[in-house]
Amino acid sequence: MKTVILGQGYVGLPVAMRAVDAGHDVIGFDVDIERSVRLGAGISHVEDVSTATLLAALATGRYQPTSDTEACAGFEVAVITVPTPLVEGNPDLSFVEEATEIVARALTRGATVILESTTYPGTTEELVLPILEKRSGLVAGIDFHLGYSPERIDPGNNQWTFANVPKIVAGIDSPSLDAVQAFYATLVERTVPVSSPSVAELVKLLENTFRHVNIALVNEFAMLANALDIDIWEAIDAAATKPFGFMQFTPGPGVGGHCLPVDPSYLSWQVRRRLDTPFRFIELANDVNGRMPDYVVGRVVAALNRKGKAANGSRLLLLGLAYKPNTSDTRGSPAAKVAERLVALGADVLVADPHVETHPIDEKVTRVDLTAEEIASSDAVIVLTDHDDFDFGLVLDEAGYVLDTRNRIRGPRVEQL
């Protein structure tokens, strides 16, 4: 089956690799020509897709990374996995629109089109469907199938992968649902059908809003507990012993990735647009989580003041640029915000992250390796991402002061968030 996966990023590339494994002939389309060339050379930019996996897919002859729209012609299934960022607080669906235009020009009778990009309820039927029909001259539900299946990929999670996480599937009608479900049944262990694309779109936003709100709750608890001189991490660990009615979430320097900083805002935007009412939980969670980088900076400044030092001129070593441990994913990372704010205060900011090769942080931030010399010469070490390959024993031995926002280490010179 000729399958086109539009977007070869953190979502699209794993989907493409799984589709190749399942025996599909896969066109991995991406508008980024350099990315397509690198993928064709066997160079993966996604840690969940190893070089060996990518080379094996290329060796089958059934994976073709490309930026040529003509390669999409004649597809049987097209899956849209392009980014859906926020621009000035509003959803930007321009990438979805552009991808849908490409699909529409290649669309033929009997084909199936699936949107995976996270978006607000109604996008599949109100945005994607009209573009497909207008540009192709075909009718959805009669000439071609259309559906939605939210992505559930968790970068760096080796236990729950694309293949074994249940896949929500939906179609604009029963035949479309059957087609969408039949496709994903070749890729995943279990599919979960729902009644409409809007329900499926809401499922994704519900999942991430749940996480966003609960992380905001424990972040606020962490700030209050610190002011009360109570160890929030001890309290969370104790609460987690309750076998019912409690789910453990932990505080941190903020939220990152595409999902948490962005997805709930899609729902909040849609609620305001359609119902003219605020979604107060989301807006409050955005406020709390958005303030966490400033709170971290405030804790660092206070610690320096206790040592008789100003932030201006202090040498500060940040551990981690990625938004989550053991990945190179820097999308929306709070670490970048912490670095920028410390630079603005006049600090000499250094960052160590063995997983991240390049990142558009402030040019005044210096990238370093985590060595005894770098640690010992720093006025403060701030743990922002607790990668397993950081030598935390070395940090404990050499650092004069540590602010650990992830509760990875404990010691007489370590403060927790």
Q: Which residues contact 98 (CB under 8 A, 6 or more apart)?
A: 31, 82
Buried b (16+ CB within 10 A) or exposed e, 371-383: eeebbeebbbbbb
* Rounded CA separation 136/107 (Å): 6
Which H/E stretch holds residue 209? helix 197-227
Query: Can you give the length of the chain in residues?
Result: 417
Q: Classify residue 66 by its DSSP letter.
A: E
Write the burial class of residue 415 (CB in 10 Å: 0-12 exposed, 13-18 middle, 19+ buried). middle
* Rounded CA separation 136/143 (Å): 10
8 Å CB contact between 254 and 289: yes
Residue from 358, 382, 361 nearest 370 by CA: 382
Q: Which residues contact 156 (CB under 8 A, 6 or more apart)?
A: 47, 48, 324, 325, 326, 327, 329
Handedness of CA 84, 326, 16, 196 (dihedral sign): negative
Lookup: tokens for 138: 């075909």
Buried b (16+ CB within 10 A) or exposed e, 8-43: bbbbbbbbbbbbbbbebbbbbbbbeeebbebbeebe
Which H/E stretch holds residue 80? strand 77-80
**Is residue 259 among the annotated active site residues?**
yes
How far, CA to CA in Å, does 7 sit from each of 45, 78, 87, 193? 13, 11, 19, 24
Task: Given the residues 179, 259, 342, 395, select the one marked as catalytic.
Answer: 259
Active-site positions read: 259
